Structure 1
Amino acid sequence: MPPSPAYRPEPHFFDLGEEYGDAVQAAAFPQSILRFRNDRAAATVGLETLSDAEWTAHFARFEPLPGQPGPIAMRYHGHQFRTYNPDLGDGRGFLAAQLRDDQGRLLDLGTKGSGQTPWSRTADGRLTLKGGLREVLAAEMLETLGVPTSRAFSLIETGEALERGDEPSPTRSAVLVRLSHSHIRFGTFQRPAFFGRADMVEAMVEHARALYHPTVAAGDVPGFLRAVVEASARLMARWIAAGFVHGVLNTDNLNVTGESFDYGPWRFLPYYEPGFTAAYFDQTGLYAYARQPEAVFWALTQLGGALKLVADVEPLTEALNGFGPAYIRELRTAFLNRLGVKSVGEAADQRLLDTTLALLREGGEAMRWEPLFFDWFGGFASSARALGGTRGRLYQGEAFDAFRFALFEHEPDRPERLENAVFAKPEPEEMLIDEVEAIWAAIDAGDDWGPFEAKIAGLRAAGDAYC
């Protein structure tokens, strides 16, 4: 069965030429066991009509979709923990296809664990099944909380036994496909800048501007950077409001659309902890929860440095200086959205942001991050629900009084959302590491996918309630 009429292939990155990527082939896997297909996401790009056999053909064997030229491993460089690495590129993934969604956006189907490429170096190009599972869960949770994120599109177990130093081995293998609003990274610009190729930087800017920031005028490089800065500030604000820690904010893991992707050692906060880190190897806390905006701003300055080949420094600096104000503005909006209330002006909105963080800080480990936003979603309209719930005893004291006063200033935004059955439950959907490990343990020990499937259903129900 062909894709539906809504399928619109537009493989624009492939038109840039061989200096931007390398044609590759996927690995031949011994098995193809479909573990997750995201029909919600597939419906937005006209691929939900594929049978399971067709799905496996396209997303395990990687037979090209109609109108797609075949896989390409994208070339890029990047700073990894602030050390420049000129030996990067798609080492275990590739760009499989580009297509328009039902909003007219150009999206990528990109892989992880699809085999070796010219940029694999000594790695095997594979992905563990546990790693793929974690990517699915991270993306689903972030989508539930309204964070700009890639979506896990497909997860197929591939029947290989992998050796890994950071988890029990041998372990099961998989190939993941994500649907993302661009895989053009900051490092995609750093690579041609490293070689002094102003022509390639200029071509890459125009390509990304026209496709992802079309309101920016052609040739306006500082305007393009400004658009990326604003999108990145919005993303950072949404991460902070979600209590999310990405873990590896290298310049090859940040893209021009401000949509997060590539979830390796991620975590969600159990409670307010500014120094909380996701990666065991982040020993200095460079990418800790509260340092993420700083890390992204640093990465943006590296993007600005690459753009100096094709634009004057002063307007680029001015564009970068817009990050701080944009981040604070977006942070207020993000917290209003998390609490389900309307804006009533900058001063009152800032007061609600400040008192929410103060309550989380003063509450310590007892004041869990996600339950606070769940209990008080809809603002003062949720008072009886919150105070009469299992955490009612926590909502007292000076910090809470200040929070309640600030919340009282804000009207509920679409209060009919509180009628959703999700808000009759005593607990919200969370995504803490113990639950992730329990979901994996059921799969690892008994091939029991029930807890995983139940979690996806719960997250989607919560997302429908919040939206």
Structure 2
Amino acid sequence: MPIDPQAFPAYRPETTLLDLGDPFFDPVAAADFPCTQLRFRNDRAAAQVGLATLDDDEWTRHFGRFAPLPDTLPGPLALRYHGHQFRNYNPDLGDGRGFTFAQMRDDRGRLMDLGTKGSGQTPWSRAGDGRLTLKGGVREILATEMLEALNVPTSRTLSLIETGEDLQRGDEPSPTRSAVMVRLSHSHVRIGTFQRLAYHRDEDALRRLVGYTLRNLFDEDGNGEGDDPVRLLALVVARTARLTARYMAAGFVHGVLNSDNINVTGESFDYGPWRFAPTWDPGFTAAYFDHQGLYAFGRQPEAIHWDVMQLAVSLRTIAESDPLIAALDGFGPAYQAEVGAAILWRLGVRPRNPDSDRALVQATERALRTSGAGIDRFFFDAFGGDLPAGYGPEWDEVRAALGDYAARKDRTHPYWSGTPCSLLIDEVESIWAPIADADDWSRLTAKVAAIRAMGDALA
């Protein structure tokens, strides 16, 4: 049975993407897969947009065969954008193996997109097959679940369906299994979306995109005229500074922080060669091809600031330089404030005052870096502000500072009686191995449950 909006009032479809018009997307068709076997459905996320009532057959029809959801977009749209990839500008980008096929409001009133990964070829596939490996889909489930639990703004993996094709890949054993994934995101408007319009000097479309973004993604008035570009840049600066800070507190390395991978809402998405750092090592990288360490753990603030700078450059097409520069200069102070808040949150203590908070955060970062302690182990042990015995003299400054802080939450949740929930690369591989070898999904199911338990304990 298809969704009936009257029977399920939590489902609130939208079509705002169509307001942008033809320069922003290309209508495409989903691939016709040999089979569709449901492997993962995120009912917690689905409930927030009124989709949890679908049975498995309906779910597969909408998210594996892409039967249109009612009263939203009439068909899939591959979005157009450009971007800097490892600081090299590429005008040949766009959704090459995905599309946006529905929009709706969530239970907070935010405009959300349903987008795909692995749904087939588009005009922007650049000779690629438009497919996603099953392993890539499993890795995206793990990344999004872990980041959500650690308070990082992130897309949600809504669905993963195996599609029955054998794929050839150069970076994993082939042939390998295929899948199509659906993500739930607060927009797919990227910095690269603005870059494309500036590249083509399409000032009218650029103003239209500024107005669309202010109205629909930030709940601000705007039509793209006057000071709208500057106001938008300031909002993106604040959101991306928050995202960067929470990456750092989570010990997360995205791996590919190109400007086409930076959502203007400050929500992380598109997880390829991601990793969690085992220790506070600024040089730790996630992508084997990041030979210069451009997107290493400690360089992520620089990388995202650089990407936001490209948004400012694009907006210079329709705005004056000085106010854009002033807005861009807010990134550093915003990041410092946000990283302090993020580390205090993970320590499980309430803020006191700016000077004390700054001193505690700096001492924590210094001790993590010099001691080589495990990031997840430390934050598990220190949660609530009481650092246990066994942490050596290099932690004395942190221990003394924590003594002045009140816990923001107690440790009565069952999670605290166990061991830290981590997600290092060896465990990711150990979760994938039984799926590859014996179609055994039990480790993935158990890990998602453990991650969500940690999230409940931290929330």
Shorter chain as denominator, the TM-score bin is over 0.9
Q: Is the 8 A contact 1:232 1:258 kept in 2?
A: yes
Pick the aligned partner of 1:25 from 19, 22, 29.
29
For residues 40 and 406 of structure 2, what CA distance do their matches in structure 1 show? 40
Matches within 5 A, 1:274-289: 274-289=282-297
Q: Is the 8 A contact 1:97 1:108 kept in 2?
A: yes
The amino acid that maps onto 1:65 is L
Matches within 5 A, 1:10-89: 10-68=14-72, 69-89=74-94
For residues 135 and 234 of structure 1, what CA distance do their matches in structure 2 show? 21
Shift of 1:217: 5.0
For residues 217 and 133 of structure 1, what CA distance do their matches in structure 2 show? 40
2:379 maps to what in 1? Answer: 373
For residues 33 and 217 of structure 1, what CA distance do their matches in structure 2 show? 44
2:326 maps to what in 1? Answer: 318
Shift of 1:137: 0.2
For residues 273 and 359 of structure 1, what CA distance do their matches in structure 2 show? 12
For residues 2 and 349 of structure 1, what CA distance do their matches in structure 2 show? 52
Whether 1:262 and 2:270 are equivalent positions in the alignment is yes
For residues 74 and 316 of structure 1, what CA distance do their matches in structure 2 show? 26
Whether 1:165 and 2:193 are equivalent positions in the alignment is no
Equivalent position SS for 1:248:
coil
Give the TM-score normalised by the residue count of structure 2.
0.97
2:449 maps to what in 1? Answer: 457
| Runs of 5+ consecutive residues of structure 2 not aligned to the other structure | none
Matches within 5 A, 1:194-209: 194-209=199-214
2:399 maps to what in 1? Answer: 404
For residues 408 and 24 of structure 1, what CA distance do their matches in structure 2 show? 59
Shift of 1:14: 2.0
1:421 maps to what in 2? Answer: 414
For residues 16 and 223 of structure 1, what CA distance do their matches in structure 2 show? 20
Whether 1:7 and 2:11 are equivalent positions in the alignment is yes
For residues 150 and 138 of structure 2, what CA distance do their matches in structure 1 show? 19
Write out per-residue CA displacement over residues 358-382 of structure 1, whole angstroms, 9 at most, x where no aligned residue.
2211212xx11111111111112xx
1:466 maps to what in 2? Answer: 458
Shift of 1:428: 1.0
For residues 66 and 216 of structure 1, what CA distance do their matches in structure 2 show? 28
For residues 409 and 421 of structure 2, what CA distance do their matches in structure 1 show? 21
Matches within 5 A, 1:54-133: 54-68=58-72, 69-133=74-138
For residues 354 and 153 of structure 1, what CA distance do their matches in structure 2 show? 37
Q: Is the 8 A contact 2:132 2:178 kept in 1?
A: yes
The amino acid that maps onto 1:421 is P
Whether 1:362 and 2:370 are equivalent positions in the alignment is yes
The amino acid that maps onto 1:118 is P
Whether 1:301 and 2:293 are equivalent positions in the alignment is no
1:328 maps to what in 2? Answer: 336
The amino acid that maps onto 2:86 is F
Q: Is the 8 A contact 1:217 1:223 kept in 2?
A: no
Write out per-residue CA displacement over residues 310-356 of structure 1, whole angstroms, 9 at most, x where no aligned residue.
11110000000000000000010000100110110011101111111
Q: Is the 8 A contact 1:127 1:174 kept in 2?
A: yes
Pick the aligned partner of 1:273 from 281, 284, 308.
281
Q: How many positions carry a matched residue from both structures? A: 451
Whether 1:234 and 2:247 are equivalent positions in the alignment is no
Q: Is the 8 A contact 2:211 2:222 kept in 1?
A: no
Shift of 1:214: 2.3
For residues 238 and 129 of structure 1, what CA distance do their matches in structure 2 show? 28
Write out per-residue CA displacement over residues 86-121 of structure 1, whole angstroms, 9 at most, x where no aligned residue.
000000000011100000000110000000001001
Equivalent position SS for 1:88:
coil
CA RMSD of aligned residues (A): 0.9
Shift of 1:5: 1.7
Write out per-residue CA displacement over residues 107-153 of structure 1, whole angstroms, 9 at most, x where no aligned residue.
11000000000100100000000001000100000001010000000
For residues 301 and 271 of structure 1, what CA distance do their matches in structure 2 show? 29
Pick the aligned partner of 1:149 from 143, 151, 154.
154
2:424 maps to what in 1? Answer: 432
Shift of 1:2: 3.9
The amino acid that maps onto 1:448 is D
Shift of 1:216: 5.8
The amino acid that maps onto 1:170 is P
The amino acid that maps onto 1:74 is L
Instruction: Please say which of residues 351-360 and 58-67 is displaced more in the overlay.
Output: 351-360
Q: Is the 8 A contact 1:10 1:98 kept in 2?
A: yes
For residues 294 and 370 of structure 2, what CA distance do their matches in structure 1 show? 24
For residues 268 and 350 of structure 1, what CA distance do their matches in structure 2 show? 24
Q: Is the 8 A contact 2:113 2:184 kept in 1?
A: yes
2:196 maps to what in 1? Answer: 191
Q: Give runs of ≥4 in structure 1 deviating > 2 Å.
A: 1-4, 214-219
Shift of 1:15: 2.3
For residues 299 and 23 of structure 2, what CA distance do their matches in structure 1 show? 35
Pick the aligned partner of 1:445 from 431, 437, 449.
437
For residues 19 and 206 of structure 2, what CA distance do their matches in structure 1 show? 15
| Percentage identity across paired residues of the two chains | 58
Q: Is the 8 A contact 1:216 1:224 kept in 2?
A: no
1:342 maps to what in 2? Answer: 350
1:390 maps to what in 2? Answer: none
For residues 110 and 436 of structure 2, what CA distance do their matches in structure 1 show? 38
Instruction: Please say which of residues 14-23 and 443-452 is displaced more in the overlay.
Output: 14-23
For residues 157 and 396 of structure 2, what CA distance do their matches in structure 1 show? 41
For residues 49 and 61 of structure 1, what CA distance do their matches in structure 2 show? 18
Shift of 1:17: 1.2
